[in-house]
């Protein structure tokens, strides 16, 4: 059960080009150094120039990772949406990378031993690649998740300390008006009754207080449109691509490896905070 919970934890997909380049180069270098020092399975003994031969495996690793981390997210942006990326997604992605690298490595191996009888088939060669790469990669995922979680939790504690000490001043009632795509459907609420808004495809779901109960309403409108209509209310913040929150209802903030999470005083629902959003604006 603990393993299942860990696998479903949010995990940040690497989105900065520099970090992707660095990761690809470092893993290619690791593969090359591992092979040059240990020379497993007697592969290098069959080729005269061991250095350049084994360097090729490292270059293939770097090239494969560059394709996976840079090209694929551009072609399939929804598949690599960092807002829904989990540790299990990262591990599956890594496993697919290992299979891809194994296929390229096998082709490279066959090419350089074209005049010899190949010692390994593709399946066994895949096992070689898996055994070399899976442990350092899984260890890296675990350490990175622990490190990012600890940093986020520490920052969240500092923010919560400020939230608890801050004296909230409730402003005079202000009426907010949201004009939806349906002309006959216009939303009017007291500013202090609005808790948060969540985007759901071409619709938005509003959560608000009415008669001392939490209500919700689904309306056809984009979150960007609502953000534009409420831009003159400093209490209303778009903290995520899918969420707008009323910061007067924030009870606390928690952190995980991927982002921060807003908890509300009036309901058990939560909202995500983008990593690039200035967290200080929430207090």
Query: Can you say how many angstroms the Cα of residue 117 is from the centroid of all Cα atoms in its chain?
Result: 45
Q: What is the pLDDT of residues 217-227, one digit of tens each?
A: 999 999 999 99
176 pLDDT higher than 50: yes
**Mean pLDDT of all residues in the chain?**
80
Q: What is the pLDDT of residues 8-54, one digit of tens each?
A: 777 777 777 888 888 889 888 888 888 888 777 666 566 567 788 88
Give the percent of the chain with pLDDT over 70. 80
Determine the pLDDT at residue 6. Answer: 73
Determine the pLDDT at residue 117. Answer: 46
The mean per-residue pLDDT over the stretch 194-218 comes to 89
Domains of the chain: 2-161 (no CATH), 166-282 (2.40.50.1020)
Global pTM reads: 0.58
The mean per-residue pLDDT over the stretch 66-72 comes to 90
The mean per-residue pLDDT over the stretch 244-261 comes to 82
171 pLDDT higher than 60: no
Pairing of strands 243-246, 194-200: antiparallel
Pick from 41, 26, 20: nearest CA to 106: 41
Pick from 27, 3, 7: nearest CA to 89: 7
Determine the pLDDT at residue 224. Answer: 92
Name the pLDDT band for 195 (thresholds 50, 70, 90).
very high
Name the pLDDT band for 265 (thresholds 50, 70, 90).
confident
Would you state the structure tokens that stand for residue 97, as one six-digit string?
A: 């990378």
Determine the pLDDT at residue 47. Answer: 58
Pairing of strands 243-246, 250-255: unpaired
Q: What is the pLDDT of residues 77-115, one digit of tens each?
A: 888 877 677 878 888 888 888 888 888 888 887 777 655
3-class SS letters over the chain: CHHHHHHCCECCCCCCHHHHHHHHHHHHHHHHHHHHHHCHHHCHHHCCCHHHHHHHHHHHHHHHHHHHHHHHHHHCCCCCCHHHCEHHHHHHHHHHHHHHHHHHHHHHHHHHCCCCCCCCCHHHHHHHHHHHHHHHHHHHHHHHHHHHHHHHHHHHHHHHHHHHHCCCCCCCCCEEEEECCCCCCEEEEEHHHEEEEEEECCEEEEEEEECCEEEEEEEECCHHHHHHHCCCCCCEEEEECCEEEEHHHEEEEEECCCCEEEEECCCCCEEEECCCCCHHHHC
Name the pLDDT band for 160 (thresholds 50, 70, 90).
low
């Amino acid at each position: 059960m603990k393993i299942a919970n860990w696998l479903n934890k949010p995990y940040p997909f690497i989105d900065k080009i520099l970090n992707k380049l660095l990761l690809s180069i470092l893993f290619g270098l690791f593969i090359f150094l591992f092979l040059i020092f240990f020379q497993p399975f007697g592969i290098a003994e069959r080729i005269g120039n061991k250095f350049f031969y084994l360097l090729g495996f490292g270059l293939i690793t770097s090239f494969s990772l560059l394709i996976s981390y840079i090209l694929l997210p551009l072609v399939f942006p929804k598949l690599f949406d960092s807002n829904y990326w989990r540790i299990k997604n990262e591990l599956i992605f890594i496993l697919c990378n290992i299979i891809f690298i194994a296929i390229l490595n096998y082709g490279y191996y066959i090419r350089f031993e074209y005049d010899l009888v190949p010692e390994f088939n593709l399946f066994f060669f895949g096992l070689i690649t898996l055994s070399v790469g899976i442990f350092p990669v899984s260890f890296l995922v675990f350490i990175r998740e622990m490190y990012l979680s600890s940093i986020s939790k520490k920052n969240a504690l500092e923010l919560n300390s400020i939230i608890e000490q801050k004296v909230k001043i409730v402003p005079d009632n202000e009426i907010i008006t949201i004009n939806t795509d349906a002309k006959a459907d216009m939303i009017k609420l007291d500013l202090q009754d609005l808790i948060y808004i969540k985007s759901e495809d071409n619709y938005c779901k509003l959560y608000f207080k009415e008669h001392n109960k939490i209500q919700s309403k689904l309306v056809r409108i984009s979150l960007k449109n609502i953000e534009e209509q409420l831009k003159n209310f400093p209490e209303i913040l778009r903290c995520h691509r899918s969420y707008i929150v009323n910061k007067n209802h924030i009870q606390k903030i928690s952190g995980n490896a991927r982002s921060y999470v807003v908890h509300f005083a009036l309901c058990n629902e939560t909202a995500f905070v983008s990593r690039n959003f200035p967290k200080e604006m929430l207090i």
